[in-house]
Amino acid sequence: MTQRRYLMCRPTYFAVDYRINPWMDPTAPYDTELAIAQWTRLRQVYRDLGHTVDEIEPVPGLPDMVFAANGATVLDGDVLAVQFRDPERADEAPAYRSWFERAGFRVHEAKHTNEGEGDLLLAGDVMLAGYGFRTVHAAHTQVQEVFGRPTVSLQLVDPAYYHLDTALCVLDAETVAYLPEAFSPGSRAVLRRLFPNAVLATPADAAVLGLNAVSDGEHVVLPVQATDLTAALEARGYTTVGVDMSELRKAGGGPKCCTLEVRP
């Protein structure tokens, strides 16, 4: 097992006061203290697994900044900065960019809308790149130029699964888990070809954001409510760790959304 390095952002200013995905209901109650408790537990799970967790300072007025996966994409010391679709999240981009600049990474300016690891997931040597809702297809060309990895475009078709990381989880270099229904027919065929041994998730797993999971190749941290997926992963020999992210799910996020992998 390789030790991982993650960047996280405490949900100090968490709120659901605008709606940019179908999970968000600005009229429904939310509990920032509970979100902080759930996030703190997730951070502890990573530390207990032996991973390193860095933290970026949360910014008042940016309630979605907790979703660090959207802050950048990082590989081989190169950072592709993000550009959000929605103005509500726009100011997160410079906050994450300057964190990486200060940490000494090579930062590349985004030429198109891309929401970081929300839509860009490395599977072995291939970059899986989602489009359809947030990251635009044109951004994938820049992704391939910056990282020099074959970049495979996958079209998302269900607005509930608006980021790739809500519909697909990379388990290790050879395997992913995904919800077939979240992808266009052509993209489904691509996934079948690339990952003949993939774990196919059920709609019930996806509906609790079960695919928004974080794997180190051996342990998979996923929403505790995703019971089918948990059983399927255990049957494949992965060790699962269930976490309750119910409060963050009100904003459309789970454990992976809260976690940006830093590959120095």
Single residue of 128, 257, 260, 262 touching ligand ARG by CB under 6 A: 257
Q: Which residue, 45 or 167, has its beta carbon nearer to ligand ARG? A: 167
Single residue of 130, 132, 252, 255 touching ligand ARG by CB under 6 A: 252
| By CB under 6 A, residue 229 contacts ligand ARG | no
* Residues contacting 100, CB < 8 A, separation 6+: 72, 74, 79, 81, 107
Window 13 to 42, contacts with ligand ARG (CB under 6 A): 20-21, 24
| By CB under 6 A, residue 255 contacts ligand ARG | no
Q: Which residue, 16 or 191, has its beta carbon nearer to ligand ARG? A: 16
| By CB under 6 A, residue 247 contacts ligand ARG | no
Concerning whether 169 is annotated as a catalytic residue, the answer is no
How far are the Cα atoms of 2, 9, 112, 183, 254 from residue 68, in angstroms, in the given order? 21, 6, 19, 24, 11
Q: How many residues bind ligand ARG, per CB under 6 A?
A: 16
Q: Which residue, 114 or 151, has its beta carbon nearer to ligand ARG? A: 114
User: Which residue numbers are catalytic?
Assistant: 163, 257
